[in-house]
Structure 1
Amino acid sequence: MPVNDPLYEDAYCTWRTSLATLLGDASLLARWQERRYRFAHRVGGLLTEGQGDEPAVTGPVLYGVFASGAGLCYVGQTQKAERRLRDLPVGESHHLANTVPPELWERVVVIRWPRLLSAVPEAEQSVAVGRGLGVCGLALEHALQVETAPPLNSRRRRTTGDWQRRNLERSRSRGAVHAQFIPSLTQLALDAWKDLSEAETPKHSSVVDTGIGRVVFPSALHESPDS
């Protein structure tokens, strides 16, 4: 839908009108704040807490957020999943929730990529040890962004108030430079990503955890009786 399409403009006006109703007075503002944080806190918990036989999600991970309609919106990586993934839907230090509210997230995919290291050649394991997990995380993030071209990674804000497109394939970032040294690890991460990004929503849960990765379905929380 073009941004100058009348339906787009009507939707934008409806959004503003709805927010004006939700923030109509101080008590409604407090209720809105509580409801949003309650939902975001629950999503953050599902992303990080232990599930069944699988332990809590900690340390280095790749992650991506899908929205209904738009599909994959954003791909990132962190060395501290226990902190970053909890903050992701809250948005206190991450910009994503400011643009795509977690109430509209269809799924969040998380890959515990260090668990894949034992399956790659020793040369690549040496790269991970020698260059550090932080560098490998950046390299995998770059490779996944190139493979999937998420829109929120494909542009950057400019001080002039508009946006500049990023050419991810020609990037000379630290991650881009080192991606060439871990081809097997990259392929395994992409395979795990594909499996989780296509996983079906379970009937009686909002989480699927394979050990290598986890997918959380925020969209399913709206349908549960205690949401």
Structure 2
Amino acid sequence: MDDQTYEDAYEAWRSALTTLLGDAPLLASWQERRYRFAHRVGALLTDSSGEGPAMTGPVLYGVFSSGAGLCYVGQTQDAGRRLRDLPVGESHHLANTVPPELWERVVVIRWPLLLPAAPADEQAAVNEMGLEACGLALEHMLQIETAPPLNSRRRRSAGDWQPRNLARSRSRGALRSQSLPGLGDLALAAWKSLAERVPPEDLAVVDTGAGRVVFPSALETPQGS
């Protein structure tokens, strides 16, 4: 995309929002429509689905858009709260940059279910370091492997962005990741399986043994009043 096409698209976005937010009733309709959609996505990410249990506890997650591909990788110890909030954006920045209406899929890995297949020494390491530190380690390994753009830069107080060298990170997750290569490989294999899943017809969520993939793109955007 050349610079002029990009600027034209940006101006079209601003013009569309100006129409959608043209008066107080339209603003209310916009707010209601967006929250209905975000709420549906959050429910699909967290609620029980068919034979799949509700998403609780520690998970890895990632959001893909239809154009940019994988945008963001994160982890949480409280999937029920974080994944429900993720598309709403009240405590997470992602939805402010990439609206959930444009999410192609969201991959969720319940990584503690992979522990029985991990090497015995790594199972002991997880018990020693705790679930939070382990989640941070797996998040770091997945970010290194996939290089999502929204994890690869940080905001600066000057109003611009600074690249992050994840490979040289000295964060707690980066330091702990060296102790869990086997578990990291298991998490990555589960991730790739879900990230490459073809959206099934008439289904917006698919559960597997260790995770779930949700396809917001398969949802019909609710009609505003």
TM-score of the superposition, structure 1-length normalised? Answer: 0.96
- C-alpha distance after superposition, 1:167-187 (max 9, x if no partner): 000100000000010111000
Is the partner of 1:203 in helix, strand or coil?
coil
Structure 1: runs of 5 or more not aligned:
none
Amino acid at match of 2:48: G
Task: Output the CA distance in 2 between the equivalents of 1:204 and 1:219.
Answer: 11
Is the partner of 1:69 in helix, strand or coil?
coil
2:29 alignment partner, one of 28, 31, 34: 31
Is the partner of 1:65 in helix, strand or coil?
strand
Q: CA deviation at 1:53?
A: 1.3
- Are residue 114 (structure 1) and residue 115 (structure 2) matched? no
Do the aligned partners of residues 223 and 27 (structure 1) sit closer, same or farther apart at CA in structure 2, a change above 3 Å counting? closer
Task: Output the CA distance in 1 between the equivalents of 2:97 and 2:220.
Answer: 20
Identity over aligned pairs, percent: 72
Task: Output the CA distance in 2 between the equivalents of 1:58 and 1:128.
Answer: 19
Aligned 8 A contact 2:66 2:104 in 1: yes
2:77 alignment partner, one of 79, 97, 100: 79
Is the partner of 2:87 in helix, strand or coil?
helix
1:10 corresponding residue in structure 2? 8
- C-alpha distance after superposition, 1:158-213 (max 9, x if no partner): 00000000000010000000001011100000000000000000102101110201
Q: What is the CA RMSD across the aligned residues, in angstroms?
A: 1.2
Task: Output the CA distance in 2 between the equivalents of 1:186 and 1:222.
Answer: 36
Structure 2: runs of 5 or more not aligned:
none
Amino acid at match of 1:86: R
Amino acid at match of 1:174: R
Count of matched residue pairs: 223
Task: Output the CA distance in 2 between the equivalents of 1:30 and 1:177.
Answer: 47
TM-score of the superposition, structure 2-length normalised? Answer: 0.97
Amino acid at match of 1:19: L
Query: Larger relative contact order (C-alpha < 8 A, sep ≥ 6)?
Result: 2
1:145 alignment partner, one of 143, 149, 164: 143
Give 4+ residue runs of structure 1 displaced > 6 Å after superposition.
Answer: none
